[in-house]
Structure 1
Amino acid sequence: MTNYTPQQARYFAEQVSLMRPQSSFESIASAMSGVKVDLNPHQVNAAMFAVKSPLSNGAILADEVGLGKTIEAGLVLAQYWAERRRKILLIVPASLRMQWRQELEDKFYIDSILMESKEFNQQRKSGVRNPFEVPNKVVICSYDFAARKSSEIKAISWDLVIMDEAHRLRNVYKTSNVTGNKLKGALRGRKKLLLTATPLQNNLMELYGLVSIIDDHVFGDAKTFREMYVSVRNTEIRNKNLQARLHAFCQRTLRSQVTEYVRYTNRIALLQEYTPSADEEKLYNFISEYLQTDKLYALPEGQRTLITMVLRKLLASSSFAISGTLNSLIDRLNNLLSGIESELDLDDYDAIDDLDDSFDDDILTADLVRDRDGIKKELAQLEEYATLAQSITQNSKGENLLTALQKGFEETEKLGGQRKAVIFTESRRTQDYLYNLLSNNGYAGQIVFLNGSNNDANSKRILNEWKKRHENDGRVSGSRTADLKASVVEEFRDRANILIGTEAAAEGINLQFCSLIVNYDLPWNPQRIEQRIGRCHRYGQKNDVVVINFLNRKNAADVRVYQLLDQKFRLFSGVFGSSDDVLGSIESGVDFEKRIAGIYQNCKTSDEITQEFDELQEEMSEAINEKMTQARQTILENFDEDVAARLKDCKASTVASMDTYTRWLYYFFLIHGAKQVEPLDQHRFRVEKDGKVKIYNLDWKSAEEAGDVFLRKDDQLYSDWLAEAKGTPLSTPMIEFNYSGESTRNIGFFNAHPQLEGMLSIDKLSYEGLGEEEHLVFTVICNDGTELDDDLVNRMLELPGTIVGDCPAETSEFADKRTTLLNLQQQQVEESNKQYYLEECDKLDAYSEDLKEGLKHDLKDLKKAITEKSKEFRSSTNLPLADMLAMKDDIDKMKKKRKAMERDINKREDEIDEMNEQLQAEIRDKLKGNSVLTHVMTLGFRLR
């Protein structure tokens, strides 16, 4: 067996657990150990930008759509998590909550909790004072819920707050923006990471708003910003000045800048038109007219808008979807006649919770006055509709799916893709109908389901078989939801050809192996469509993606919705689907969806539909402001050659750091008795424990391909061996390292310096102040005066070693060198902190100058008003004397106000300087850190 010493075990234990400076490549490498992420250089660059200064209050990551802002935020989050700073809040659109939860669980192995009304109230009932106070879990909630619970959020000292789709807060500078201002107040002083592809859409004030959420002390007040940057003629100088002020807060990478690292495929749209049968059209018209009735007893008044929207979606899905819901409406009316107020069963629509989160919190209330005759009349109507719906056994839309699917498979295979398709519907009953339809037409045994519950027998079988296959490889998480999705996706990838999914399938799964998407039911929310297509058309997709959409040509509103989504939003075709401009112009996908629902509900003629959609399309055109697009390019986008050079350097540094960290882990495990796997691979090793053998793998892709256990930091084996290495008392030995016997190692420096001997001391300098960081300091003296750098020390300690005696006594020369190196490391920490301090001083000085400039603008405006008023006075000789005297009195008052303002400006400027000094004093207090020196080991070494 190859020999290693306790000193080597301790050395590698220190290296793999060292808390490195947060903004270093080594810190990224450490945090990324044990996560399933492909690191692209632009993502590492963005993550390091976000954490570069411990004094900063945050950053805006504004990469174009499709560059992986979720991964960038995940890298930052993983670093905080690894450093045990785990009070982390994620505020996201309601529709993205599950996706974020799944990404954290699947890629980063970080647990989270969805904080919504049900969970919040349950926690309160169980005695929890503040349900947002959750140990060792990321808290995820929607914007609306966060605003409603702003007082509870404010009470927690969050380590990090991430806000996705943050452009919805860009109007926070307006007092009317209630949600934005509630969140800004609740999160003031917390470190924030804002994610948005469109930080600037229609107005430069939006930049002011977003930056003010991160830090109130960047620009002056809103009025001053408007005067300095919005109401100016020389936009070129304005843009350069803004770019200089924003460079420390906003990072934006373009798709055109990363094509060397990321390949993007196209989207190809196919349209499948269909014409409903006479009975289907009759049913549609009946229910549409019913929903437009002023008073409906079957729909609780508090939720009528929400339920009407859901019913229209189910009506457009299939006769089977609306048939089941009609029965629920009938049951409610029968209960009302019996004096019982009951809720509607809308579980057929998987996305109901996301919609419900965006509507008012009206509770279901019983009607105060019962109109039994009215209820009976409505009941008779619904029973008639239900009978008609049940009589329809075939849907024209479904029959057309068979044609569309064959057409899609042919196109996909022509483009090199697999014969796999994901079909999206908004109804579980439609899902059942499509399963039977396809099974009876040549696809039996090739279909899997994904919905909010997956309680069918086939899904249960798939889950049980998946658990059995993976019982020993660490993939079974114990969460039924997560494991079920993983099992269905694996079944779809390896055995099935078709996945029929409700909205649940659009959240938190990656289907890069599939390149055919069928929107059987088309949502009105463009963000939901993008989310659906993004399951397949994402990083890692090798083929062009075919998107099939269904359209009822006889429905004028359906036609206009499709035209808007396809032609105006450009969702279905192109290099990367919808443009950033368009998606960014929609403040909330649900709000847009409500607007579409309103047109369906309120328009009864084709002319009314045309007029409403024309107005909506005109509003969308106005929202896409060409001048602001140009301003965004000038202010936020960097086209110089430095971008490419920086990304290349970032890639090289990341790869080097990851390789080094992997080697440390590999040798750490070998030293503890793990066995090398043949052929030799520095990612794989075999461990025998309690009579069982496991092959661990440090590379997640290789682990999945080979069926190994992917090693994570929270693995008990890792924790146990780390504690053992750090808890073992160390002697001060002489170690002989065997280089000549290592045929697989060829280190040029050691070849040139055979028989190398000397002394090595390793100390750990721990600093706690602005943040926490640790540094290993190596003091090495070779007997022949040869210099060894840190990398060569690491290479030497990787060699097999044997203790052959005691280390010689430390010389005064060695002690002096050790003291010098430790002082130098201390100075480097202080120098880094000094740079952070100077950057903050520059920011605060610019902020103070903005405020002073604002005061001067007010005085300048007053002087201008006096000049204009005086000119008017001199030319008003024809006015009556009384009017002239009144005008002169106004001028005198204005001059008096000017003198008072001139006196006040000096006083106000002094106050601004005092405020600046107070803010800088607070920063200086943060700089007062403590350094602790720990001696790790001393040893003599001999290379043989």
Structure 2
Amino acid sequence: MIVQSNHVAGMDLHLVEFPEQQVRRWLPWYVLSLVPSVKQRFLTGQLDASCTSERARLRILAHLFQHWQQNTGALSNLDIDPLPHQIHLVHHILNSGNYNWLVADDVGLGKTIEAGMLIYALRQRKEARRVLIITPSGLTTQWQEELSSRFDLHDFKIYGRDFTIRKASHWHDHSHDYVIGSMDQLKQAHHLEMLLHAEPWDLVLVDEAHRLSRRQYGLKLDASERFDLVKELRRREKIESLVLLTATPHQGMQDKFTALLELLRPELRDELQLIDLNPDLLGEMVIRNYKSDVTDKEGNFIFQGKTTHAVEVPTSEESREFDKSLQSYLKKGYRAGASLGRTGNAIGFVMTVYRKLAASSVAAIHQSLINRLERLELELEEQEDYDTDPYEDHRYQGESEETTARLISEGEEEFFSGEKEHLEDLIRRAQALNENDLKLQSFMQTIIQSTLVKSAEERVLIFTEYRTTQSYLAKALAERFGAATVHLINGSMSLDERMAAIEEFESAGQFLVSTEAGGEGLNLHRQCHIMINYDLPWNPMRLVQRIGRLYRYGQRKRVVVLNVNSKGTLDEDIIAMMYDRLNQVVTDMAHVQGDEFNENLKDDILGEMADMASLEEIIEKSQQQDIRRTQQRIDDALERAREAASLQRDLFEHAASFNAAIFNEQIVVTEEHLKSFISGMCRILEIELDTAYLKGSAWRLRFPIHLKEKFNLTRAIHSITFDRELSRQREDIELINYNSEFFRALIDIATSIDFGGKLASTGLKIRPRQSIIFAALLRWQNEAGRRMSEEFSLFLDAAGEIRLNPVEVQEWLLHDSEDVPPPAYDKEVARQSFLGLHNHCAQRVGRNMGSGLIPERIDPISILWASTDEEAPVDSYVDQ
């Protein structure tokens, strides 16, 4: 478009704007030629030989593909099949005007896929030339593999493994533009100091961002080193845009949640302190989707449901007597620890771990008691150091407790007088129970047997907190079903070893016995839908995370969860009571609109309640209280968690989220669009097309000689497919996506000036008989003039009533379009029609202005008169 003219030294120069590239150039008059715009053609009724409705349809499709790729990256050669909520999330962030967001989707909704799509799309836009991903240490390799295998992003390197920076200047090497780093390594003073010398990052993405913790106590702020890591990067202006990923951003702690929001938008600190008074602000910062809301592309809910059963196993008089003796031992131990003050905390810690081990398996407590007695009877030269501080990574809590308790127990002094004799009695009782373990017998003979009754090859995931119990179960399963059927995951294994165990389990195994090391970050749903929890964690959130390994997107079966429950001992009764009360509260909250019960909503609420209810500490203190007092404390904690969950739900009502109704208004590119476009372009270009090749799974194209060079082909016959798996198997068949040179060449042709299709008249069965289809790109920019957002829309103007992307027009896009005679040209009618459509678009641009977004322009693509096809062909009108 010419926006300004000037006459200099006898030469006419014109300032020409190229909207797609967002550039302006002064050019001499003789390099320019007049091309009527869409608006000009419509206002003057200019039809020519290339103004056919089929060319208009193909032109619109080509622009749709360009827009879809730019805003989602979903047409690239990616090993993903994105769901509507994932597409919406990426599209929403890219078109929001800023890239600082908290992505708080439920566990299992594919936050890694969403993050990968976002990174890929930003790189396509050339807006992510430098990216830093900060993750827990155990997930760095997984992130690298996901980005490489799914998104074809092979240049991400892991800091500390693939490279290490020892001099600040080394960061300026462009081979370090795409980095994955462990938050616990980068937070260390030396590494952080080096990192602060790096060039600013276009995008910093933090996985499991709830680990960035800052609490407020009165006027004092207590921040973790992980929080300070990101805060310091922000403060030093090393972050252009920040994306935080976490399924549990609130955790019932408003100050902690607000701290995360401050990292996103430091300039809004004062407003964020009063977020309750202005919750609409969350809509520009937080996006949250729930399992109960998301659907597939056909509108079907993607989760097949979950069934949870509590399986009670029998207890014996011997087990109850053992528990009484153990409770007596524990009370003496707790009293001994308390009498020593702070130095006695270690003894109390050991007593608590013994309780957990006893609730896990008789084998686990039996072995720990033996270890303790042996250490009392041996003279140790030197005792190892130990640390009872909170665990950096809660996935290894059980294993860490087990190890730390053993180290503390390696003292040669009794915790209390007579401990040795008490241990001998407990070991004798535990030995007898071990020889006739009713819990293991029930697990093997009843639970496993009933699980395999329908299919002897069914795969089963088994969780326990402790390594001793894991070994105990693995041995029993191996003896019964063979060692080759049993595989393990625990904290002693590297990520590569864990992934290898999963691969063996999914390919040829039958049982995967895992500690909490497999409870988060690893996906096990592809070949398994049955989970057995041999012990129940004292922290309910860990149970939710375990279930999330199977109950996630891609799971094709109903998930079955079996919780082994052996009531009859004090702690196991308390744990069973806790889960029972939790289930009651969650079930009650999942009743909506009177008595209607929402099963999917229950799963959402369970995760929120488990995240907020601090029940582990209550159980730990239950040793000093009677069971009624413990029950009351659990009820009080659940009531507080219920209130916090309700407040969080009210707060997150204002967050952005997937809305199926709004999503359905958008034009979502499908395989049918691609097929329709290619078949239509082949007809226009006179390319012979055989759609029955390989039983329809591929298409064979025969090119005219003059097109073979244009498409850079060595042979006249070229095969294409829309099936990713087939393209992997056949190198001679090209997959149609945005990486396809053939596909991009067709788009270039369809969007070129010479292709036509800016104005046409098409037959469309619609009422009223005469309507207008208006295809346009609506664009927004920031205050610096940089394009930030773009929307592709089809408007139907039917007698002054304008609708956005109506179903009949979307359907028209998928089929060959037939020309019909245009209406009699009336200059004033055309002017009023265009003015009405343009004003409607302008109002939409104004309504959708977000934070930092201002209108840029409205670019018409094509206009079509849409009529019933009852009249004669349009041939006689073309010469006009």
TM-score using structure 1 length: 0.54
After TM superposition, the structure 1 = structure 2 runs for residues 461-476 of structure 1, keeping only pairs within 5 Å, are none
The alpha-carbon deviation at position 104 of structure 1 amounts to 5.2
Residues 100 and 538 (structure 1 numbering): CA distance in 2 closer, same or farther, change over 3 Å?
same
* 2:516 pairs with 1:503: yes
Residues 100 and 301 (structure 1 numbering): CA distance in 2 closer, same or farther, change over 3 Å?
farther
The alpha-carbon deviation at position 214 of structure 1 amounts to 0.7
1:691 corresponds in structure 2 to none
The alpha-carbon deviation at position 341 of structure 1 amounts to 1.5
Instruction: State the distance in 2 between where 1:358 and 1:710 align.
Output: 52
* 2:71 pairs with 1:59: no
Secondary structure (helix, strand or coil) at the match of 1:422 reads strand
Instruction: State the distance in 2 between where 1:203 and 1:427 align.
Output: 30
1:248 corresponds in structure 2 to 284
Instruction: State the distance in 2 between where 1:370 and 1:252 align.
Output: 50
Higher helix share: 1
1:178 corresponds in structure 2 to 223
1:338 paired residue among 361, 380, 386 = 380
Q: Is the 2:315–2:567 contact (alpha carbons within 8 Å) kept by the matching residues of 1?
A: no
The alpha-carbon deviation at position 437 of structure 1 amounts to 3.6
Residues 198 and 358 (structure 1 numbering): CA distance in 2 closer, same or farther, change over 3 Å?
same
* 2:617 pairs with 1:595: yes
Residues 436 and 249 (structure 1 numbering): CA distance in 2 closer, same or farther, change over 3 Å?
closer
Q: Is the 2:357–2:466 contact (alpha carbons within 8 Å) kept by the matching residues of 1?
A: yes
Instruction: State the distance in 2 between where 1:130 and 1:272 align.
Output: 60
1:434 corresponds in structure 2 to 473
2:295 corresponds in structure 1 to 258
The alpha-carbon deviation at position 553 of structure 1 amounts to 1.6
Corresponding residue pairs, total = 645
2:507 corresponds in structure 1 to 490
* 2:52 pairs with 1:46: no
The alpha-carbon deviation at position 69 of structure 1 amounts to 2.9
The alpha-carbon deviation at position 163 of structure 1 amounts to 3.6
1:651 paired residue among 655, 661, 668 = 668
Q: Is the 2:131–2:201 contact (alpha carbons within 8 Å) kept by the matching residues of 1?
A: yes
The alpha-carbon deviation at position 273 of structure 1 amounts to 1.2
Q: Is the 1:333–1:375 contact (alpha carbons within 8 Å) kept by the matching residues of 2?
A: no
Instruction: State the distance in 1 between where 2:186 and 2:327 align.
Output: 30
* 2:134 pairs with 1:90: yes
Instruction: State the distance in 2 between where 1:128 and 1:709 align.
Output: 48
The alpha-carbon deviation at position 88 of structure 1 amounts to 1.8
2:638 corresponds in structure 1 to 617
2:242 corresponds in structure 1 to 192
1:629 paired residue among 637, 649, 653 = 649
The alpha-carbon deviation at position 520 of structure 1 amounts to 1.1
Instruction: State the distance in 2 between where 1:153 and 1:776 align.
Output: 42
* 2:463 pairs with 1:424: yes
Residues 363 and 646 (structure 1 numbering): CA distance in 2 closer, same or farther, change over 3 Å?
same
Instruction: State the distance in 2 between where 1:318 and 1:127 align.
Output: 48
The alpha-carbon deviation at position 397 of structure 1 amounts to 0.7
Residues 300 and 151 (structure 1 numbering): CA distance in 2 closer, same or farther, change over 3 Å?
farther
1:290-341 Cα distance to aligned partner (Å, 9 max, x none): 45515579x9978667665554333222222233334544565566x33211
Q: Is the 2:133–2:207 contact (alpha carbons within 8 Å) kept by the matching residues of 1?
A: no
* 2:281 pairs with 1:273: no
* 2:180 pairs with 1:138: yes
Secondary structure (helix, strand or coil) at the match of 1:276 reads coil
Instruction: State the distance in 1 between where 2:559 and 2:150 align.
Output: 24
Instruction: State the distance in 2 between where 1:375 and 1:130 align.
Output: 59
Q: Is the 1:350–1:426 contact (alpha carbons within 8 Å) kept by the matching residues of 2?
A: no
Residues 485 and 374 (structure 1 numbering): CA distance in 2 closer, same or farther, change over 3 Å?
closer
The alpha-carbon deviation at position 551 of structure 1 amounts to 1.4
Instruction: State the distance in 1 between where 2:93 and 2:745 align.
Output: 35
1:347-372 Cα distance to aligned partner (Å, 9 max, x none): xx99887339999x9999999x9975
Secondary structure (helix, strand or coil) at the match of 2:631 reads helix
1:321 paired residue among 353, 364, 372 = 364
1:448 corresponds in structure 2 to 486
Residues 283 and 257 (structure 1 numbering): CA distance in 2 closer, same or farther, change over 3 Å?
closer
Instruction: State the distance in 2 between where 1:525 and 1:835 align.
Output: 50
One-letter identity of the residue aligned with 1:503: E
Instruction: State the distance in 1 between where 2:140 and 2:325 align.
Output: 36
One-letter identity of the residue aligned with 1:176: L
Instruction: State the distance in 2 between where 1:322 and 1:662 align.
Output: 70
Secondary structure (helix, strand or coil) at the match of 2:396 reads helix
Residues 26 and 38 (structure 1 numbering): CA distance in 2 closer, same or farther, change over 3 Å?
same
Q: Is the 1:57–1:215 contact (alpha carbons within 8 Å) kept by the matching residues of 2?
A: no
TM-score using structure 2 length: 0.58
Instruction: State the distance in 2 between where 1:530 and 1:127 align.
Output: 41
Q: Which ranges in structure 2 are unaligned for 5 or more consecutive residues?
A: 1-62, 591-597, 682-691, 702-718, 759-776, 790-851, 857-880
Residues 303 and 99 (structure 1 numbering): CA distance in 2 closer, same or farther, change over 3 Å?
farther
One-letter identity of the residue aligned with 1:595: E
One-letter identity of the residue aligned with 2:293: S
Secondary structure (helix, strand or coil) at the match of 2:293 reads helix
Instruction: State the distance in 2 between where 1:428 and 1:358 align.
Output: 10
1:126-181 Cα distance to aligned partner (Å, 9 max, x none): 96889999775422436996899876665554443334454676976774342386
Q: Is the 1:698–1:710 contact (alpha carbons within 8 Å) kept by the matching residues of 2?
A: no
Residues 385 and 342 (structure 1 numbering): CA distance in 2 closer, same or farther, change over 3 Å?
farther
1:537 corresponds in structure 2 to 551
Q: Is the 1:556–1:609 contact (alpha carbons within 8 Å) kept by the matching residues of 2?
A: no
1:249-303 Cα distance to aligned partner (Å, 9 max, x none): 3334454363605422222222211243444445445455545515579x99786
* 2:263 pairs with 1:213: yes
One-letter identity of the residue aligned with 1:629: R
Residues 135 and 677 (structure 1 numbering): CA distance in 2 closer, same or farther, change over 3 Å?
farther
Instruction: State the distance in 1 between where 2:408 and 2:474 align.
Output: 39
Secondary structure (helix, strand or coil) at the match of 1:161 reads strand
Instruction: State the distance in 1 between where 2:242 and 2:473 align.
Output: 45
2:575 paired residue among 561, 564, 568 = 561
One-letter identity of the residue aligned with 1:448: V
One-letter identity of the residue aligned with 1:489: E
After TM superposition, the structure 1 = structure 2 runs for residues 390-401 of structure 1, keeping only pairs within 5 Å, are 390-391=431-432, 392-401=434-443
Residues 72 and 353 (structure 1 numbering): CA distance in 2 closer, same or farther, change over 3 Å?
closer
Instruction: State the distance in 2 between where 1:291 and 1:409 align.
Output: 39
Greater CA drift, 388-397 or 529-538: 388-397
The alpha-carbon deviation at position 400 of structure 1 amounts to 1.4
Q: Is the 1:144–1:358 contact (alpha carbons within 8 Å) kept by the matching residues of 2?
A: no
One-letter identity of the residue aligned with 2:132: I
Secondary structure (helix, strand or coil) at the match of 2:551 reads coil
Secondary structure (helix, strand or coil) at the match of 2:381 reads coil
Residues 516 and 27 (structure 1 numbering): CA distance in 2 closer, same or farther, change over 3 Å?
same
Instruction: State the distance in 2 between where 1:288 and 1:707 align.
Output: 67
